[in-house]
């Protein structure tokens, strides 16, 4: 079968390979998924997982097509408040179902709610001699009054990363933060947080923690982070197991928590960090929404950057296979 031949399944007609890019089919209903054909890809519901989350697919880690590595949630904080909005957990004001409804468009200005299975194809353009693919993901209004959109942008020369940037839409409450948080570190059992001059583990942050809720956040300031070649900051997290796919889960653990594929490092890079930037991690002893203990003990779950809200601030998520002979990023 030709790579560009659409195939229909329960999330819609499969995406098409178009030049250097994977883009949604124009044959609707279509699966909302964008990115690199053999690299990192971003999807929306109804691809696997709860609503209100960006899906991060990494087929180059030898994952099956429907298996994703992580999710990204959108969690805005309104000025003068401390509580976050939760894109995954808040009920929709459009249909009453769990999770905020996300939909896609080719620009920030086209934010009217639309059917997620009639996705935008994204805009291909050349920037500084490098081809980019950009799509906008809009969210419905949060209970705290925030109305935000996320620009999702891929570079042709960096197939294992994606740039995410939050924008405040007209009519939104003023924002203090808009956290884009990677929410599923427990799948890969991330236990090593790589800072500028040390590696921090959950056992150090939360000794003896064995509850089924979240451990409190560990927080690390910008001065504790590594610098990237472009002058920004970078932080990475890795599993502490040589072969995470061989771990034996407790009886009754849901099968979707069983890690498959290659061992990988996940990270965030911020090209223009503010002095107030912090990295936050929390941890879990049991898998989400269960009492099933995580093999090997507590691991990091949410892995995020916290900064004062700046329109269009770029947060780059990346994931690379770990080569034990040359562990660099």
Distance between CA atoms of residues 203 and 194, nearest Å: 15
List Cα–Cα distances, 179 to 144, 160, 222, 234, 296, in angstroms.
Answer: 14, 21, 16, 16, 29
Final residue before a domain boundary, out of 183, 203, 235: 183
Average pLDDT over residues 187-202: 98
Average pLDDT over residues 141-145: 98
Containing domain of residue 312, as a range?
185-329
Instruction: Please give the pLDDT value at position 323.
Output: 77
Instruction: Please give the pLDDT value at position 163.
Output: 98
Shared domain for 251 and 142, answered yes or no, is no
Instruction: Please give the pLDDT value at position 230.
Output: 85
As given in the structure block, the two tokens for residue 267 are 């990270």
Instruction: Please give the pLDDT value at position 329.
Output: 54
SS3 316: strand
Shared domain for 166 and 212, answered yes or no, is no
Shared domain for 248 and 189, answered yes or no, is yes
Average pLDDT over residues 104-114: 95
Instruction: Please give the pLDDT value at position 5.
Output: 42
Shared domain for 119 and 239, answered yes or no, is no
Distance between CA atoms of residues 306 and 100, nearest Å: 21
Evaluate if residue 6 carries a pLDDT over 50: no
Shared domain for 107 and 43, answered yes or no, is yes
Mean pLDDT of the chain: 95
Per-residue pLDDT tens digits for 39-76: 999 999 999 999 999 999 999 999 999 999 999 999 99
Instruction: Please give the pLDDT value at position 324.
Output: 59
Evaluate if residue 2 carries a pLDDT over 80: no
Final residue before a domain boundary, out of 183, 204, 235: 183
Instruction: Please give the pLDDT value at position 1.
Output: 33
Shared domain for 41 and 152, answered yes or no, is yes
CA 280 to the chain's CA centroid: 14
Give the pairing of strands 130-139 and 102-105: antiparallel
Evaluate if residue 92 carries a pLDDT over 70: yes
Shared domain for 156 and 217, answered yes or no, is no
Distance between CA atoms of residues 39 and 57, nearest Å: 8
Shared domain for 226 and 302, answered yes or no, is yes
Shared domain for 64 and 169, answered yes or no, is yes
Shared domain for 1 and 143, answered yes or no, is yes
Evaluate if residue 8 carries a pLDDT over 60: no
Distance between CA atoms of residues 67 and 59, nearest Å: 8
- How many independent structural domains does the chain possess? 2
Instruction: Please give the pLDDT value at position 327.
Output: 57
Shared domain for 320 and 276, answered yes or no, is yes
Average pLDDT over residues 82-89: 97
190 φ, ψ to 5°? -70, 125
Distance between CA atoms of residues 94 and 220, nearest Å: 37
Average pLDDT over residues 182-204: 98
Distance between CA atoms of residues 219 and 213, nearest Å: 18
Final residue before a domain boundary, out of 151, 183, 215: 183
Distance between CA atoms of residues 186 and 282, nearest Å: 11
Instruction: Please give the pLDDT value at position 174.
Output: 98
Per-residue pLDDT tens digits for 244-301: 999 999 999 999 999 999 999 999 999 999 999 999 999 999 999 999 999 999 999 9
Shared domain for 93 and 222, answered yes or no, is no
- 11 vs 157, residue with greater confidence: 157
- 129 vs 10, residue with greater confidence: 129
Cβ pair 159, 36 in contact under 8 A: yes
Per-residue pLDDT tens digits for 225-258: 999 988 999 999 999 999 999 999 999 999 999 9
């Amino acid at each position: 079968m030709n790579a560009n031949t659409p195939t229909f399944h329960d999330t819609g007609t499969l995406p098409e390979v178009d030049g250097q890019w994977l883009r949604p089919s124009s044959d609707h209903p279509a699966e909302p998924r964008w990115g690199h054909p053999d690299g990192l890809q971003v999807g929306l519901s109804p691809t696997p997982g709860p609503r209100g989350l960006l899906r991060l697919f990494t087929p180059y880690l030898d994952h099956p097509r429907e298996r994703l590595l992580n999710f990204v949630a959108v969690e805005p904080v309104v000025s003068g408040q401390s509580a976050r909005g939760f894109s995954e957990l808040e009920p929709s004001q459009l249909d009453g179902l769990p999770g905020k409804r996300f939909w896609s468009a080719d620009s920030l200005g086209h934010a009217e709610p639309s059917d997620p299975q009639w996705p935008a194809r994204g805009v291909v353009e050349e920037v500084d001699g490098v081809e980019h693919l950009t799509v906008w993901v809009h969210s419905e209004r949060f209970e705290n009054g925030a109305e935000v959109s996320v620009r999702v942008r891929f570079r042709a020369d960096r197939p294992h990363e994606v740039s995410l940037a939050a924008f405040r839409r007209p009519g939104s409450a003023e924002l203090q933060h808009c956290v884009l948080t990677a929410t599923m570190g427990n799948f890969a059992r991330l236990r090593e947080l790589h800072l500028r001059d040390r590696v921090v583990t959950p056992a150090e942050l939360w000794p003896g923690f064995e509850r089924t809720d979240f451990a409190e956040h560990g927080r690390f300031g910008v001065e504790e982070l590594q610098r990237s070649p472009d002058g920004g900051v970078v932080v990475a997290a890795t599993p502490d197991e040589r072969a995470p796919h061989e771990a034996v889960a407790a009886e009754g653990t849901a099968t979707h928590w069983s890690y498959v594929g290659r061992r990988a490092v996940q990270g965030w890079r911020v090209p223009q960090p503010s002095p107030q930037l912090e990295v936050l991690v929390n941890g879990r002893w049991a898998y989400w929404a269960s009492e099933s203990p995580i093999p090997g003990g507590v691991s990091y779950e949410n892995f995020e950057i916290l900064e004062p809200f700046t329109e269009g601030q770029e947060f780059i998520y990346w994931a690379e296979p770990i080569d034990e002979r040359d562990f660099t990023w």
